[in-house]
Structure 1
Amino acid sequence: LGVYLPPREVPSSEIIQACRQKILYPLERLTGIRFRRMAGDIEFAIDLAREAVKKCLARSRFKPEEIDLIISCNISRYDGPNFQFSFEPSTSVRLRRDLGLESALCFDISNACAGMFTGVNIADAFLKAGLVRNVLIVSGEYITHLTRTAQMEIRDERDERIACLTLGDAGAAAILTRSEDDRYGFHDIEMYTLSEYSDCCIARPTDSKAGGAIMLTDSIRIHTVAIRESVKHVIQKLRQMNWSRESLKHFVMHQTARGAISELARQVNEYYRAKMLDHSNMIYNVERRGNTSSTTHFVAIWDNILNNRIQNGDNIVFAVQASGITLGTAPYTFDDLPDRLRAFEANENEKNNVEENPADSGRQAGEKSISVPTIQPSAQSKLKNISEEVPFKITIESIATLSDDEVRQLPHSAIQYAVKVIDKCFNISSLPKEEIDLLIYAGVHRDQFLSEPAIASILAGETKINSDVPPDSPHKTFAYDVLNGSVGFLNACSNAMAMLRSQRMNHVMIVTAEMENNANLRGRPNLGIKETATATILSRTSDGTSPAEGIRAIDFFYAPQYIDAFYSHIGQEAGTSYLDFRRDPNLFDYYHESTCQAVTQFLQTQKLTWDMIDLIAPPQISPDFVQKLGDQLQIPPKKLVNLAEEVDLYTASVPFCLNHLRQQYAHSGKLALILSVGTGVQVGCLLYHFV
């Protein structure tokens, strides 16, 4: 575990005093928050994440090259001054390059304040499925920029921006691996989304001319629903664990405010008619940290390990609450992590004491005692193979795409495109909506540059997919976003494979939708992507003994030497937000080179030759791009799939190709290789068998 806190500590009194409009709001008394850490001068979201990973690796027995998977989980992507809220390349691929994590598959996810526990949930599936050994989850939350915007905009004590004043900044990282002893680790983790309430908390760029971003929260509604339903879920899990009051040493929920934490305890105790939760086992960590968003649980256990409250062998229950509304409960038992962390900190304190007298040590004054060397990217990038034989197939149950005519009939909205294609997918699917266990959204460019909640939760609410169910319902849907540029769809497929292979879920829907954010802005260039949407349902077949259509393998390849060839982020001018991007004129040449290398390594890894592949679908960036790649790989015209238009199909490229191939070659026995390439540079390879 590693936690990084920016050095500047700001009292609540200063936060209130800095509001442009004088408000009489007792922030400290109502929330219990006295201080919070604030970044934003020289450190931003990715910096907090990077420092947390360094601290985590320094305390780990694993070397950087032993990390198999990186999941970046933050809401905030505010990565540089003047509101550089980044989209591509992903945070995870940048950390992979910066910190020498050269063996790791990587992608970003987004799920509001449930982000890190969504990462835990995904890591658990990858580990149980045997796809990876060591997973790094990380979040760098520079979110007090919302506080600064709110200070300029809040009108009175009832303003829906008030929750922005409770925030604090932090970075957290954890390495997860399979426990060698069933007594320790996560005994269970269940998360689900009550998407009926996805409008309770919205974060997006502000419309004010001062710029920045803002979070609009219906605090009473979100806390009422989240606490009420979380209490039911917590009680359900406590009964399953059969933990007594004496054995439950700690309970930590999302750290928003002292009142919310106390109310959950009160309702749990009311059910038990006893003090199941009280100050002896409830962790209140908001006083000096505030609400640090997706990192709150990990900051809380870090602080309470270092202050000697949490001991080896202690049982703890994590309760997850986030906008969306996403809920979860995870009972956990500590191994020797507390002692290991405390021993490391004691050792570091001794080193720092020696360091204060440079004459007595071999280290120069001011040199950091904790460091992880940055490994330069090599020309020979690695292909991460996550495919193994399994006793069942993962197959496409149904897939839908929108035509140009269908898009033209809709408002200019990625969310509306996605809602339309989800309905279209269910119209051709044999599954009822309640059978969808997981909804993943893999689109990048969205309405109003929304950053919270997860777009997946909005879509589940709009289409009524188990949007308001009790915790004991047999049908619940978990929703989150995967963000990794045009490779995001295949990353979402790898998430689905892990969930399905671990037999935690049966049916997963993956949705993509894209819009040109600059379409109606004079003087701002479009990115050049197709405005469309796709929906794909992946299912786990029950019988693997007979031949079945399905995914044979998904692999990923990285060429980090080209990571700076494309960069996109939000820009702002006079209250208008737009997509700002820079593209290396040689970007598509880098894509061609990297894709050719990836395909060569993929075939070697899968022990395949070119004559064994019946169909090849390159990334559908443009007709010229597809043809040039076909020529470079010497693909015969009859094998080459070219659906490309003059605009990049982007996140829709793979699902468009899969839909086309299923219509043309269903039950043909054909083996198809579908490729994706995106910023980073990253290449995804999907092998699909049409039986």
Structure 2
Amino acid sequence: MAGIRIESVGVCSKQRRKKRSSIDLATRAANECLKESVYEKGDIELLINTGVYRDEFITEPAIATIIQKAVKINPATHGDKGKKTLAFDILNGGIGFMNGCHVAGTMIKSGRFKTALVLTGEIENNAETKNGELLGYAELGAAIILDRSQNPGTGFGKFLFKTFHDHIDSYISHLAQDRGETYIHYKKEDNLEERYLACIPATVEDLLCKEGLQLGDIDIILPPQISSDFIAELSRRIGVARDKLVDLTELYPDPFTATMALTFKYSKENNLIKRGDKILFINVGSGIQIGCAIYYC
């Protein structure tokens, strides 16, 4: 995947609508991302949405197509022979955004696409119901534009995704209804975070081996933002100094699918990363799934 870079990043935490809307958050994040980019809206050839908790539990049409129209990125009409943008959703829990980056990068490397916009928007669906507990995720929109790096040796290295089926029931959720009201019912095992922590080290080690790196070669780690205690314990489990792991938990609840974009943007704006640095992204998701990626600045 070397040669696919993060060209720009946009994050949005404020909504314009009174009613919660993941589409509004993702749309505004996309616009913020485009403001930071050298590309115009019409230059975006691929759009991938990875948000899980969306307006009114919409599954079809793809939320990506709704956002595409809202942002006015080559909105195609029947018989239109102008520029077109391929838009679709990838839904895979907390690691969906990383999946989206991997897929987008592969499609750019195929030569069929030059640019990709990967985005997400998450809301607390249960916040406006009388039933169901809050999931505890930050209501955020996040977006990144990917393209080919002009500098050799920069951009994404390898990605690695692993699923640990023994823990498949550690986090389950489904829609439920009560007196005409739809809400999300979910169940997390008490030791879910411990199970994440048990699965991460071997996945990180495997990725580094495939990339030909040692953990000491990594300059900064952008981990899941589940809690400060989780990040501290992760640093101990993988044997890395605590200050190498970015911690934004005092600023946001768990950003969930927005974690990758949010931590990268924060690190860049606060001069935590510099040219030549190597970044290790780590994401977790139900399944249990662990996703990791190397990025060369």
SS, match of residue 120 in structure 2: strand
TM-score calculated relative to the size of structure 2 = 0.94
**AA at the equivalent of 1:643:** L
Alpha-carbon offset, residue 466 of structure 1:
0.6
Alpha-carbon offset, residue 662 of structure 1:
2.6
Between Structure 1 and Structure 2, whose CA radius of gyration is higher? 1
Rounded to whole Å, the distance in 1 between the matches of 2:76 and 2:207 is 43
Alpha-carbon offset, residue 576 of structure 1:
1.0
1:402 counterpart = 2:12: yes
1:644 counterpart = 2:249: yes
Rounded to whole Å, the distance in 2 between the matches of 1:684 and 1:644 is 20
Residue of structure 2 equivalent to 1:522: 130
SS, match of residue 157 in structure 2: strand
Relative distance call for 1:509 and 1:410 in structure 2 (3 A) is farther
**AA at the equivalent of 2:103:** N
Rounded to whole Å, the distance in 1 between the matches of 2:41 and 2:16 is 26
SS, match of residue 561 in structure 1: helix
Q: For residues 193-592 of structure 1, what are the structure 2 equivalents within 5 Å? A: 387=1, 393-403=3-13, 406-407=14-15, 411-468=19-76, 470-473=79-82, 475-541=83-149, 543=150, 546-547=151-152, 549-592=154-197
**AA at the equivalent of 1:419:** T
Rounded to whole Å, the distance in 1 between the matches of 2:261 and 2:71 is 21
Alpha-carbon offset, residue 408 of structure 1:
7.8
1:675 counterpart = 2:282: yes
**AA at the equivalent of 1:472:** K
TM-score calculated relative to the size of structure 1 = 0.41
Alpha-carbon offset, residue 657 of structure 1:
1.4
- Is the contact between residue 137 and residue 254 of structure 2 (CA under 8 Å) also seen in structure 1? yes
- Is the contact between residue 131 and residue 183 of structure 2 (CA under 8 Å) also seen in structure 1? no
Alpha-carbon offset, residue 567 of structure 1:
0.8
Rounded to whole Å, the distance in 2 between the matches of 1:418 and 1:432 is 17
- Is the contact between residue 626 and residue 644 of structure 1 (CA under 8 Å) also seen in structure 2? no
Alpha-carbon displacement from aligned partner over 1:471-497 (angstroms, at most 9, x marks no partner) = 532x21011000000010011011101
Rounded to whole Å, the distance in 2 between the matches of 1:410 and 1:494 is 34
- Is the contact between residue 129 and residue 181 of structure 2 (CA under 8 Å) also seen in structure 1? no
For structure 2, list consecutive stretches of 5 or more residues without a partner in the other structure.
Answer: none
**AA at the equivalent of 1:401:** V
Alpha-carbon offset, residue 587 of structure 1:
0.8
Rounded to whole Å, the distance in 2 between the matches of 1:523 and 1:662 is 40
Alpha-carbon offset, residue 673 of structure 1:
0.3
Alpha-carbon offset, residue 522 of structure 1:
2.4
Residue of structure 1 equivalent to 2:291: 684
Q: How many residues are matched?
A: 294
For structure 1, list consecutive stretches of 5 or more residues without a partner in the other structure.
Answer: 1-386
**AA at the equivalent of 1:647:** P
Alpha-carbon offset, residue 647 of structure 1:
2.6
Residue of structure 1 equivalent to 2:209: 604
Residue of structure 2 equivalent to 1:653: 259
SS, match of residue 638 in structure 1: helix
- Is the contact between residue 434 and residue 466 of structure 1 (CA under 8 Å) also seen in structure 2? yes
SS, match of residue 249 in structure 2: coil
Rounded to whole Å, the distance in 2 between the matches of 1:675 and 1:540 is 22
**AA at the equivalent of 2:292:** C
Rounded to whole Å, the distance in 2 between the matches of 1:622 and 1:407 is 24
Rounded to whole Å, the distance in 1 between the matches of 2:63 and 2:212 is 39
SS, match of residue 564 in structure 1: coil
Rounded to whole Å, the distance in 2 between the matches of 1:410 and 1:553 is 41
- Is the contact between residue 657 and residue 674 of structure 1 (CA under 8 Å) also seen in structure 2? no
SS, match of residue 160 in structure 2: strand
Q: For residues 37-56 of structure 1, what are the structure 2 equivalents within 5 Å? A: none
SS, match of residue 483 in structure 1: coil
**AA at the equivalent of 1:612:** D
- Is the contact between residue 12 and residue 26 of structure 2 (CA under 8 Å) also seen in structure 1? no
**AA at the equivalent of 2:52:** V
Residue of structure 2 equivalent to 1:615: 220
Rounded to whole Å, the distance in 2 between the matches of 1:682 and 1:524 is 25
SS, match of residue 524 in structure 1: coil
SS, match of residue 480 in structure 1: strand
Q: CA RMSD in A?
A: 1.7
**AA at the equivalent of 1:531:** E
**AA at the equivalent of 1:422:** A
Alpha-carbon displacement from aligned partner over 1:350-378 (angstroms, at most 9, x marks no partner) = xxxxxxxxxxxxxxxxxxxxxxxxxxxxx
SS, match of residue 519 in structure 1: helix
Rounded to whole Å, the distance in 2 between the matches of 1:666 and 1:436 is 27
Alpha-carbon offset, residue 556 of structure 1:
0.9
Relative distance call for 1:599 and 1:683 in structure 2 (3 A) is same
SS, match of residue 48 in structure 2: strand
Alpha-carbon offset, residue 620 of structure 1:
1.0
